[in-house]
Structures are given as structure tokens and as C-alpha cells.
Amino acid sequence: MPRLILIRHGQSQWNLENRFTGWWDVDVTEKGAAEAVAAGHLLRDRGVLPTTAFTSLQTRAIKTLHLALEGCGRLWVPEDKDWRLNERHYGGLTGLDKAETAAKHGDDQVKVWRRSFDVPPPVLEKGSEFDLSADPRYAGITVPQTESLKDTIARVLPCWEEKLAPALRSGETVLVAAHGNSLRALVKHLSGISDDEITGLEIPTGQPIIYELDDALGEVERYYLADR
């Protein structure tokens, strides 16, 4: 039975500071690193051991992957870094304090930007402080200036079809260490969650989600490993 493990990166510095992060590259905090190690220990103790791994091009997810793999004694497994697993791009909100943004624009407007399915935040201007178009890790990639959750799903699903699904079909136990919204995209697809409901799905940091899948990669069961 194919098995997929999803882990949202451990707490990042901007999670702690309550800032919109998106594609900006921030590190995990000490707490976030501990969450990743604990996730690895849980995988080890439950005997859920990945044989291959995927992550984004962002430090917080990469470090979470490595710490979790080390924690379960699997640091040696192959890994694939793919920009399509990056967090949703928060456009012109990048770097802003969430509470201050709500005070300026109103709670309702911020809720639309954060939680609507297909309404993106304002665009990030080219050449601004958080513009990543010249970052060497994105060479050859058109870096978005903003994204809705719908946009994020549209880039994550081809990664699923091209990389994750074939690995699962070949018998691999696949670990994906990624971000709240890129993981929402996978959960929406695998669990058939509606557009309206997926925006309210919270994925906690550092908590392995396990998918037991059938041979057609349909969901048999989805659960948090800590609950077993």
C-alpha cells in the first residue's frame, strides 16, 4: 500500500514574528528545529520510514527535511528540491506584520487576501526589497509577483503528477517537507476537499500527516502520526 508523509516546516522566524513570508527565505527558529527533530523521532518510533524525499527551494523546508530525516535515521535517502513545492507567494504583503496590516486595511480585507481561494494579494513590485527574480536558485523560473491558493495549487499538482505520484507507484515511501499552502494543495487533491473548505484547513508545523493510499493513489486513510 503506497504511503505518503507530509510535514509542514518547523516554526520559522517570521512565523514567530507574525509576518507574511511566502517565497522570502527565512530560517527555522530553535523551536522549529526541535519540531523537525521530534517529527523524525516520531517516524522512527512508529516505524514509518521514508525511502525518498521531496522539498521546496526554501531554507525552512529544507532544514526541516534534513532534521526529520536525521531524526529517523534516514538522512541518506534521495531527495529532490522543486520550486513548485514553495510556499504561496504573498506578493506585496511579503514582510508585513499581519496585525499591522489588518489595522491598516481592515480585518475583512486581510481575511480575503489570506483565506479566499482565488483572490491574490497585491502584486510585489519589481525591484522592491523582497523581489526574488534575480535569486540564482530561481534561474530560468518566472518568479510570481503574487499568488492565490488557486494559483499555488496549479503549480503544485504538476509536481505531484510528474514526481510524487510516480515515486509512490514504484513502491517508495515518500516524505514531502513543504509549506502550509503547498501542502494544502496536496491535501485538497488527495482528499477531494472543496475550494471553500480547503482555505480553512490548518496544517500545524512539524506534525507528520500520513496518507495510506490504494494502488490508484486514492485516499484510504489520512491521519496525524502523533494520534497513533
* Active site (annotated) includes residue 87: yes
Of 82, 119, 121, 92, the residue nearest 195 (C-alpha): 119
- Cα of first residue to Cα of last residue in the chain, in angstroms, is 18
Asked whether the beta carbons of 98 and 69 are under 8 A apart, the reply is: no
C-alpha angle with apex 26: 153 to 190, nearest 5 degrees? 25
Asked whether the beta carbons of 224 and 48 are under 8 A apart, the reply is: no
Q: Phi/psi of residue 155, each to 5°?
A: -95, -25
* Active site (annotated) includes residue 161: no
Say how many C-beta atoms besides its own lie within 10 A of residue 21's C-beta: 23
Which residue among the candidates 9, 35, 147, 172 is catalytic per the annotation?
9
Residue in this structure with the C-alpha cell 509536481, named with its chain if needed: 159
Which residue among the candidates 30, 66, 70, 87 is catalytic per the annotation?
87
In sequence order, the β-bridge partners of residue 51 are: none
Residue in this structure with the C-alpha cell 471553500, named with its chain if needed: 196
- The CA distance from 123 to 132, in Å, is 13
Strands (E) across the chain are located at 3-8, 52-55, 79-81, 173-178, 209-213, 219-224
The C-alpha cell that represents 47 in the structure block? 516505524
The catalytic residues are 9, 87
